[in-house]
Structure 1
Amino acid sequence: MLIREVMTAPVVTLPRDATVRQAIRVLHEHDITAAPVVDRDGRLAGIVSEMDLLRGAFEADPRAFARPVAAPGGPPPRRVEEVMTARVRTARPNSDAAALADMMIRTGIKSVPVLDGTVLVGVVSRRDLIAVLARGDARVRDDVVAALAGHGAPGDGPWAVTVSDGVVELSGPADEAARRLAGVLARTVPGVTRVVVRGPAGQGSV
């Protein structure tokens, strides 16, 4: 799968000078956990998450403490640009979604803006990746069959396609080139986690 096939677009963005309260309302209203921050020209300037916005948003309630609580040293941040992350990991729309998922797992990053050149075209969140994996096996199988037929996968006979928990098994022509092409096509289908390609009667695999 390519990133453009799993990303959310169009993107909900926030201007640098939005207030923290405005940003909180935007994330809440759109049911998202983070949003890219853009400058006046619409170029990516950073990303702000729920955690960023929550820092300093609440003051302690004195009723919860036996002794009076000291007043905070200064006012909480008021603008998005004060709390956002400026150094942002980004992705390209035609890059591999699996590699992006691995990076997000390793780093703990929850949302990644997608840039086509300097243009912000989408965002990929953990929720987007989960939504792809949640697609039912029957739907994934239909899409794999359509991909094979639509691209004219060569061979001397029809492909048998089975899907179990996102793992696709293809059985078909003995021609190695045909099997490799079928495997590539199957891997482009959203929701596919692994592909096994076998020749007639299960002989060999790629």
Structure 2
Amino acid sequence: MLVEEIMKTEVIALPPTATIKEALHLLHKHKIRHIPIVDSTKEVIGIVSDRDVRDASPSIFEKESEACELDHEIQTIMSQPVITIHPLDFVEEIAKIFYEQEIACLPVVRKNNKLVGIITEKDMLYTMIQLTGTHVQSSHIEVKVPHRPGILPEVTSIFGKRKTNIISVLVYPFKDNPNYKILVFRIQTMNPLPVIQDLRNAGYELLWPNNIAGENR
């Protein structure tokens, strides 16, 4: 899946000369948490978060304080340089950026760093839910298999014989053993017992459900 398939293209942005007060207003009005800062050519030069704005705002306990802090330009508190991504990047790969950089938002840019979209950690979480198939009614099956070429079509052929629709397939490492993998299936049936029994009859080890056939867990 590509970034352009999930990014938001209607992005609220501000110039660096906008005030912190303006940013605060937009954050509340649009219920967003980040605002990219762009120059006159729409090139991304910074980003501010609701936390940046909150930290720069005067305390409600300082009764004598004037709100002049809110009149400062947004460029005085924006973060830079900004990590950006391209519309043709793979969603699975940018998930790693969110994790490693511990950030909550990524502006999407094209040629010359021009802003064309934005992706938030919430967008990423929703996409991961879709990719794993957990957003639809389905049954979950985990199979431990040897790590060798051709093993995936061998296992999926068992589902095919039952004419069972596979919603998603994930492949995980099996602990620290490189000789095995875990295949995680979500199948479109509320009665997976026939397929489960077929997998056991074919000699595959099921990690989920891992109860003895015919017993209730």
The TM-score with structure 2 as length reference comes to 0.58
Conserved? CA contact 2:85–2:108, under 8 Å: yes
User: CA RMSD for the aligned pairs?
Assistant: 3.2
Match of 1:188 in 2: none
Report the alpha carbon displacement of residue 79 of structure 1 after superposing the two structures with TM.
1.2
Match of 1:162 in 2: 166
Relative distance call for 1:195 and 1:7 in structure 2 (3 A) is farther
C-alpha distance in 2 between matches for 1:4 and 1:16 = 26
The structure with more strand, counted as a fraction of residues: 2
**Aligned with 2:80 (options 79, 86, 92):** 86
Report the alpha carbon displacement of residue 138 of structure 1 after superposing the two structures with TM.
5.8
Match of 1:21 in 2: 21
Q: 1:1-206 maps to which residues of 2 (within 5 A)?
A: 1-59=1-59, 61=61, 76=69, 78-118=72-112, 119-135=114-130, 136-137=135-136, 160-163=164-167, 167-168=168-169
Number of residue-to-residue matches in the alignment:
150
Report the 3-state secondary structure (helix = DSSP H, G, I; strand = E; otherwise coil) of the residue aligned with 1:137.
Answer: coil
- Specify every segment of 5 or more residues in structure 2 that has no aligned partner in the other structure, as ranges: 139-159, 171-183, 187-197, 203-217
Report the 3-state secondary structure (helix = DSSP H, G, I; strand = E; otherwise coil) of the residue aligned with 1:95.
Answer: coil
Relative distance call for 1:108 and 1:120 in structure 2 (3 A) is same
Report the 3-state secondary structure (helix = DSSP H, G, I; strand = E; otherwise coil) of the residue aligned with 1:14.
Answer: coil
Relative distance call for 1:62 and 1:129 in structure 2 (3 A) is closer
Higher gyration radius (CA): 2
Report the alpha carbon displacement of residue 54 of structure 1 after superposing the two structures with TM.
1.0
The TM-score with structure 1 as length reference comes to 0.61
Report the 3-state secondary structure (helix = DSSP H, G, I; strand = E; otherwise coil) of the residue aligned with 1:15.
Answer: coil
- Specify every segment of 5 or more residues in structure 1 that has no aligned partner in the other structure, as ranges: 64-68, 140-156, 170-193
